[in-house]
Amino acid sequence: MDKFRMLFQHFQSSSESVMNGICLLLAAVTVKLYSSFDFNCPCLVHYNALYGLGLLLTPPLALFLCGLLANRQSVVMVEEWRRPAGHRRKDAGIIRYMCSSVLQRALAAPLVWILLALLDGKCFVCAFSSSVDPEKFLDFANMTPSQVQLFLAKVPCKEDELVRDSPARKAVSRYLRCLSQAIGWSVTLLLIIAAFLARCLRPCFDQTVFLQRRYWSNYVDLEQKLFDETCCEHARDFAHRCVLHFFASMQSELQARGLRRDNAGRRLELPAVPEPPAVPEPPEGLDSGSGKAHLRAISSREQVDRLLSTWYSSKPPLDLAASPGLCGGGLSHRAPTLALGTRLSQHTDV
Amino acid sequence: MMDKFRMIFQFLQSNQESFMNGICGIMALASAQMYSAFDFNCPCLPGYNAAYSAGILLAPPLVLFLLGLVMNNNVSMLAEEWKRPPGRRAKDPAVLRYMFCSMAQRALIAPVVWVAVTLLDGKCFLCAFCTAVPVSALGNGSLAPGLPAPELARLLARVPCPEIYDGDWLLAREVAVRYLRCISQALGWSFVLLTTLLAFVVRSVRPCFTQAAFLKSKYWSHYIDIERKLFDETCTEHAKAFAKVCIQQFFEAMNHDLELGHTHGTLATAPASAAAPTTPDGAEEEREKLRGITDQGTMNRLLTSWHKCKPPLRLGQEEPPLMGNGWAGGGPRPPRKEVATYFSKV
Q: What digits encode the pLDDT tens for the residues A72-122?
A: 888 889 988 888 888 888 888 999 999 999 998 899 999 999 999 999 999
> Is the CB of A144 inside 8 Å of chain B's CB atoms?
no
Q: How far apart are CA B66 and CA A77, in angstroms?
A: 31
Chain A contacts of B307, Cβ < 8 Å? 207-208, 211
- Look at residue A280 and tell me whether its pLDDT is greater than 60: no
Q: B157 or A291, which is more confident?
A: B157
- Mean pLDDT for chain A? 79
Q: Are residues B225 and B190 in the same domain?
A: no
B residues 71-130 near A, CB within 8 Å?
75-76, 79-80, 82-84
Contact of A280 with A297, CB cutoff 8 Å:
no
Instruction: Specify the pLDDT at position A84.
Output: 86
Chain A contacts of B42, Cβ < 8 Å? 174, 178
Residue A275: which of A244, A306, A320, A245 has the closest Cα?
Answer: A245
Instruction: Specify the pLDDT at position A284.
Output: 46
CB pairs under 8 A between A and B: 225
Number of separate domains in chain B: 2
Instruction: Specify the pLDDT at position A109.
Output: 92
Q: How far apart are CA A234 and CA A277, in angstroms?
A: 18
Task: List, in order, residues 6 or more apart from B187 with CB less than 8 Å away.
Answer: B119, B125
Average pLDDT score over residue span A229-251: 86
Domain that holds residue B241: 210-253
Q: Is residue B280 part of a domain?
A: no
> How would you class B42 by CB atoms within 10 Å of its CB: exposed for 0-12, middle for 13-18, buried for 19 or more?
buried
Q: Are residues B193 and B229 in the same domain?
A: no
Q: Are residues A130 and A60 in the same domain?
A: yes
> Is the CB of B69 inside 8 Å of chain A's CB atoms?
yes
Q: Are residues B29 and B108 in the same domain?
A: yes
Q: Are residues B177 and B232 in the same domain?
A: no
Q: How far apart are CA B208 and CA B188, in angstroms?
A: 31
Query: How would residue A8 be classed by pLDDT, with cut points 50, 70 and 90?
Result: low
Q: A341 or B140, which is more confident?
A: B140
Q: Do the Cβ atoms of A342 and B261 come within 8 Å?
A: yes
Interface mutation target, options B296, B305, B322, chain A, most CBs of A under 10 Å? B296
- Of these ranges, A253-257, A305-309, B41-45, B49-53, the one predicted with the greatest mean pLDDT is B49-53
Q: How far apart are CA A121 and CA A174, in angstroms?
A: 10
Residue A187: which of A237, A119, A132, A250 has the closest Cα?
Answer: A119
Chain B contacts of A177, Cβ < 8 Å? 39, 41
Q: Are residues B58 and B143 in the same domain?
A: yes
Q: Is residue B199 part of a domain?
A: yes
Instruction: Specify the pLDDT at position B115.
Output: 95
Considering B208, B240, B269, which residue would you say is the last residue of a domain?
B208
Q: Are residues A93 and A223 in the same domain?
A: no
Nearest residue on chain A to B61, alpha-carbon basis: A189
Helix (H, G, I), strand (E, B) or coil at A319: strand
Query: How would residue B278 be classed by pLDDT, with cut points 50, 70 and 90?
Result: very low
> What are A183-238's pLDDT values in tens digits?
999 999 999 999 889 888 887 888 888 889 989 988 988 898 898 888 888 888 88
Query: How would residue A346 be classed by pLDDT, with cut points 50, 70 and 90?
Result: very low
Q: Do the Cβ atoms of A338 and B258 come within 8 Å?
A: yes
- Look at residue A349 and tell me whether its pLDDT is greater than 80: no
Read off the amino acid at residue A279.
V
DSSP E strand stretches across chain A: none
Average pLDDT score over residue span B113-141: 89
SS3 content of chain B, % helix, strand, coil (to 5): 75, 0, 25
Domain that holds residue A219: 206-253
Q: How far apart are CA B308 and CA B289, in angstroms?
A: 24
Query: How would residue A330 be classed by pLDDT, with cut points 50, 70 and 90?
Result: very low
> Is the CB of A175 inside 8 Å of chain B's CB atoms?
yes
State the Rg of chain A over Cα: 33
B residues 198-237 near A, CB within 8 Å?
235-236
Q: Please list, residue by residue across A87-118, b when 16 or more beta carbons sit within 10 angstroms of its beta carbon and e when fewer do.
A: bbeebeebbebbbebbeebbbbbbbbbbbbbb
> Is the CB of A136 inside 8 Å of chain B's CB atoms?
yes
Instruction: Specify the pLDDT at position B180.
Output: 93
Q: Is residue A139 part of a domain?
A: yes
Q: Do the Cβ atoms of B252 and A324 come within 8 Å?
A: yes
Query: How would residue B338 be classed by pLDDT, with cut points 50, 70 and 90?
Result: very low
Q: Are residues B27 and B68 in the same domain?
A: yes
Q: Are residues B153 and B195 in the same domain?
A: yes
Considering B253, B284, B316, which residue would you say is the last residue of a domain?
B253
A residues 66-95 near B, CB within 8 Å?
none
> Is the CB of B261 inside 8 Å of chain A's CB atoms?
yes
Query: How would residue B13 be classed by pLDDT, with cut points 50, 70 and 90?
Result: low
Q: Are residues B37 and B75 in the same domain?
A: yes
Q: What is the pTM of this model?
A: 0.73
> How would you class B47 by CB atoms within 10 Å of its CB: exposed for 0-12, middle for 13-18, buried for 19 or more?
exposed
- Mean pLDDT for chain B? 80
Q: Is residue A116 part of a domain?
A: yes
Across the interface, of B67, B240, B248, the residue whose CB is closest to A192 is: B67
Q: How far apart are CA B168 and CA A256, in angstroms?
A: 111
Query: Distances in Å between the alpha carbon of B290 and those of A129, A197, A213, A317, B333?
Result: 65, 36, 19, 16, 30
Helix (H, G, I), strand (E, B) or coil at B77: helix
State the Rg of chain B over Cα: 33
> Is the CB of B5 inside 8 Å of chain A's CB atoms?
yes
Q: Which long-range contacts (CB under 8 A, 24 or more apart) does A341-347 make?
A: A341/B257, A341/B260, A341/B261, A342/B260, A342/B261, A342/B265, A342/B267
Q: Is residue A263 part of a domain?
A: no
Across the interface, of A119, A195, A211, the residue whose CB is closest to B307 is: A211
Average pLDDT score over residue span B199-219: 85
- Look at residue A338 and tell me whether its pLDDT is greater than 60: no
Could you tell me which residues are beta bridge partners of residue A319? B295
Q: Do the Cβ atoms of B246 and A199 come within 8 Å?
A: no
> Is the CB of A294 inside 8 Å of chain B's CB atoms?
yes
Q: Please list, residue by residue across A208-243, b when 16 or more beta carbons sit within 10 angstroms of its beta carbon and e when fewer do.
A: eebbbbbbbbbbbbbbbebbeebbeebeebbeebee
Q: Are residues A75 and A183 in the same domain?
A: yes
Q: Is residue A270 part of a domain?
A: no
Q: How large a percentage of chain A has pLDDT more than 70?
A: 78
Across the interface, of A196, A204, A297, the residue whose CB is closest to B66 is: A196
Query: Distances in Å between the alpha carbon of A43 and those of A57, A89, A162?
Result: 19, 59, 11
Contact of A145 with A97, CB cutoff 8 Å:
no
Q: Are residues A73 and A213 in the same domain?
A: no
- Of these ranges, A52-66, B197-211, B254-268, the one predicted with the greatest mean pLDDT is A52-66
Q: Do the Cβ atoms of A174 and B59 come within 8 Å?
A: no
Instruction: Specify the pLDDT at position B181.
Output: 93
Q: Are residues B101 and B157 in the same domain?
A: yes
Instruction: Specify the pLDDT at position B326.
Output: 39
Q: Are residues A120 and A226 in the same domain?
A: no
Average pLDDT score over residue span B27-46: 87
Q: Are residues A213 and A120 in the same domain?
A: no
Q: B143 or B30, which is more confident?
A: B30
Q: Is residue A289 part of a domain?
A: no
Query: How would residue B9 be classed by pLDDT, with cut points 50, 70 and 90?
Result: low
Query: How would residue A151 be classed by pLDDT, with cut points 50, 70 and 90?
Result: confident
Average pLDDT score over residue span B85-97: 85
Q: Are residues B158 and B216 in the same domain?
A: no
Instruction: Specify the pLDDT at position B263.
Output: 60
> Is the CB of B43 inside 8 Å of chain A's CB atoms?
yes
Chain A contacts of B2, Cβ < 8 Å? 2-3
Q: Is residue A15 part of a domain?
A: no
Instruction: Specify the pLDDT at position B319.
Output: 53
Number of separate domains in chain A: 2
Average pLDDT score over residue span B72-93: 84
Nearest residue on chain A to B250, alpha-carbon basis: A316
Average pLDDT score over residue span B293-317: 81
> Is the CB of A133 inside 8 Å of chain B's CB atoms?
no
- Of these ranges, A250-259, B187-196, B200-209, the one predicted with the greatest mean pLDDT is B187-196
